Structure 1
């Protein structure tokens, strides 16, 4: 058997090195084909990002996005429709529906019987905004809210609708809105991620949530959302293994960084640098996370403000309190997900329960931010992926009904940095079925959010596989009418 000598091995090694490093010839073509995605995925330079930041004067430094997954009914929250009171069971006029697509859950119904809301509405604050009796605490802070009643989307089912709201596209794979913000603006706290996600443990799991909703897509991986959990390990795989005291961890990371830098010099893959950043962030988070997760030192009146659930880690109320702490630490984007709003049946009971879980803590967050002087530069967003139908899906009685998905018009609200307080925008018809004034598309909402952060949504782009992508795709306008 022939045994290769050292010269033979060196010759092969040199050949490999040639194919990896040459700038021309067959090796470069092969390597270029293998690494084409990497070559086309290079992030924008800091100079370019800086110019994007300066195009619009920012009103907001940070965002807390309270996402109500499942689609809250506008009829039981903010879009008061008194003319429906005497229309129980009457069919929705064809002229109102206008041939709109129905979901498979109600397409086979013989008729579409109208279901007036069971709940009373009142006007609150100096603005006189209409708010349901299900939201008594929110009603007390209504003069801080900018209520938009004319949102619309093309997506009629949950997964594409939520994905569309969170990433700007109905199909998975695009970066989430928080990842775009992290990529465009970076972090003001080097010990915590720029984008943090909290999911309520006390919410009904009627519709699933996927980690891709806060994923980085094709952006460098350090921009993905990091989920903080209740329990022993708030961040998975962050703590040291049992029996390891971590005394030499910093030295180990130093050696690992050197190895990654050598790999980066050989391959030129930007994801290697992202990996280095993540390792370094994880090391710093070992100290910062336990501190920020500890709410035991908050005074009793703060827990009273957010409600009794705020003492139970992982609940929506506790996550609202934790969100305030994260915002105080200059985390750029905090996203709360609260499931359970998909009420196809037994809506009165379901809505009452959902509103009770979120109402007090949501209002408490607004009050807490304002008294700390943070509301003026923090944008608060509340809403789901679409609204609900005026007609009942299936069973209908005077005291019980359900509502199907309705993408054609629904309500969200914003508060804080740069939006008009005590202001309602947009108008729907008497059936809250069609928008009759000031429509706001999902891409318009996304463009406006970026604008408030000082970013031009048309300029914040990332080149991937030969195309320049952005959160708003090729759409979106800033809704200047709701801005101060």
Structure 2
């Protein structure tokens, strides 16, 4: 056969490219875990919008006396604020909207807005000294989920899928459930890149489960297509895709093959997970009546437990509505009503089933809220990233513990700061991963979830 110069060069280039891509793919597969893990799975309860640490977790009795007084310049320290309050002529201190009380053997302070979370304080650790680089929602929640304010980086779940794989071969390693407060406006937008794979192979991106109809689109075969004919079609398609992969070496072809196979297996598994008809009445007494209604936060918490029972690596709930720039008391009260019982129920349920020791639960948003009022005193609170609160439970985290302190205004960190990178490093540690060694080559760098800045495993959070 006559071989033209142009065809020869094209074939040679494809061949070299194929070898290089395959080599990169092999090199990027980490040998994990690095050491014995404390946890197998994680449920991340992401509260989009910035929950107010001042009104929920970070108790400072002095704030009652300071209510209505001007926040001292020495405390604010010239910190930049958002455009929503930068033109205010004054920054009046706003005390918590509800009372705080101590709970449990640990004596943890908790707002009356959280009566159910108050009952599990001896099972959780409240981190009061979180801080973030971001001041606005989109970079903030992108940073929380991916370790970078710049879109395009892999999410925590994608990293875990890449490094540890799936524990249930019939479901994706990383699953997403979204909800918002009943009767509320949608709140801050939620973008799919928050659970994206970034520069990792796209097979590792999160899969969103829907709240109505089939949990995942196209789970059912079209009318007249049997499961055996679907299997035959996929086998033929797989053969064609493998032929193209051998020619081009494009790793995304392998991703396509894997996704088709996963979809086939999910046709049987996903509907069973979403079927709560056999849950006992005690389940709905624990999680609340909203757990019967698909799309609610309570229902999604129940789904998270059902997924963890079936060996899924990571489930992430994203709940919108925590952005209280106005109507602070009304909207924050309603938001807590939607989430408090179910969040506590999830921890209790996992514990009762013997799953909490191997499952991390993380609760929190992209930042906190300002101690000063936005607008009229008590009307609302602006964004605040210099300090905020999150809580963790299970999977190697301490229980009945509080970590970190803020100043009397809950404005600056006074002791034991924890960055977003530190928290991610600690999460990885509990899963048996050394965050410094967990890298992926991209654009000439060995990229990490914890970035290029210094990050530490917070030993005081680990039991």
TM-score (norm 1): 0.92
Cα–Cα, structure 1 residues 17 and 238, in superposed 2: closer, same or farther, change >3 Å?
Answer: farther
Higher deviation after alignment, 224-233 or 375-384: 224-233
Q: Note if contact 2:181-2:321 (Cα within 8 Å) is conserved in structure 1.
A: no
- Matches of residues 95-174 of structure 1 in structure 2 within 5 Å? 95-174=74-153
- Matches of residues 34-433 of structure 1 in structure 2 within 5 Å? 42=25, 44=27, 46=29, 49-50=30-31, 52-53=32-33, 55-202=34-181, 204=184, 205-396=186-377, 400-433=378-411
CA–CA distance in structure 2, aligned partners of residues 20 and 330 of structure 1 = 45
CA–CA distance in structure 2, aligned partners of residues 166 and 36 of structure 1 = 33
Q: Note if contact 1:150-1:409 (Cα within 8 Å) is conserved in structure 2.
A: yes
- Structure 1 residue aligned with 2:433, among 455, 465, 481? 455
Q: Secondary structure at the match of 1:141?
A: helix
Q: CA deviation at 1:202?
A: 4.1
Q: Secondary structure at the match of 2:234?
A: helix
Correspondence for 2:446: 468
What do the CA deviations read for 1:309-347 (whole angstroms, capped 9, x no partner)? Answer: 000011000000010000001100000000000000111
What root-mean-square deviation, in Å, do the aligned CA atoms of Structure 1 and Structure 2 show? 1.8
Q: Note if contact 1:115-1:401 (Cα within 8 Å) is conserved in structure 2.
A: no
Q: Note if contact 1:167-1:174 (Cα within 8 Å) is conserved in structure 2.
A: yes
CA–CA distance in structure 2, aligned partners of residues 250 and 306 of structure 1 = 39
CA–CA distance in structure 2, aligned partners of residues 17 and 470 of structure 1 = 40
Q: CA deviation at 1:212?
A: 0.5
Q: Secondary structure at the match of 1:433?
A: coil
CA–CA distance in structure 1, aligned partners of residues 20 and 180 of structure 2 = 38
Q: CA deviation at 1:482?
A: 1.1
Q: Secondary structure at the match of 2:211?
A: coil
Q: Note if contact 1:207-1:340 (Cα within 8 Å) is conserved in structure 2.
A: yes
Q: Secondary structure at the match of 2:283?
A: helix
Cα–Cα, structure 1 residues 41 and 199, in superposed 2: closer, same or farther, change >3 Å?
Answer: farther
- Structure 2 residue aligned with 1:18, among 8, 14, 35? 8
Correspondence for 2:416: 438
What do the CA deviations read for 1:207-228 (whole angstroms, capped 9, x no partner)? Answer: 0000010011111111000001
Q: Secondary structure at the match of 2:42?
A: strand
TM-score (norm 2): 0.96
Q: Note if contact 2:129-2:413 (Cα within 8 Å) is conserved in structure 1.
A: yes
Q: Note if contact 2:39-2:431 (Cα within 8 Å) is conserved in structure 1.
A: yes
What do the CA deviations read for 1:292-311 (whole angstroms, capped 9, x no partner)? Answer: 11011100001110001000
Q: CA deviation at 1:251?
A: 0.9
CA–CA distance in structure 2, aligned partners of residues 368 and 217 of structure 1 = 34
Cα–Cα, structure 1 residues 28 and 284, in superposed 2: closer, same or farther, change >3 Å?
Answer: closer
Q: Note if contact 2:129-2:388 (Cα within 8 Å) is conserved in structure 1.
A: yes
Q: Note if contact 2:14-2:247 (Cα within 8 Å) is conserved in structure 1.
A: no
Q: CA deviation at 1:241?
A: 2.8
Q: Secondary structure at the match of 1:305?
A: helix
CA–CA distance in structure 1, aligned partners of residues 76 and 23 of structure 2 = 46
Aligned residue-pair number: 460
CA–CA distance in structure 2, aligned partners of residues 28 and 308 of structure 1 = 58
Q: Does 1:480 align with 2:463?
A: no
Q: Secondary structure at the match of 1:395?
A: coil
Unaligned 5+ segments in structure 1 are: 1-9
What do the CA deviations read for 1:257-280 (whole angstroms, capped 9, x no partner)? Answer: 111111111111111111111110
Q: CA deviation at 1:237?
A: 3.2
Q: Note if contact 1:379-1:415 (Cα within 8 Å) is conserved in structure 2.
A: yes
Q: Secondary structure at the match of 2:176?
A: strand
Higher-Rg member (1/2): 1
Q: CA deviation at 1:41?
A: 5.5
CA–CA distance in structure 2, aligned partners of residues 454 and 258 of structure 1 = 37
Q: Note if contact 1:37-1:465 (Cα within 8 Å) is conserved in structure 2.
A: no
What do the CA deviations read for 1:7-46 (whole angstroms, capped 9, x no partner)? Answer: xxx647x656523332xxxx579x86xx999579635455
Cα–Cα, structure 1 residues 37 and 92, in superposed 2: closer, same or farther, change >3 Å?
Answer: farther
Q: Secondary structure at the match of 1:401?
A: coil
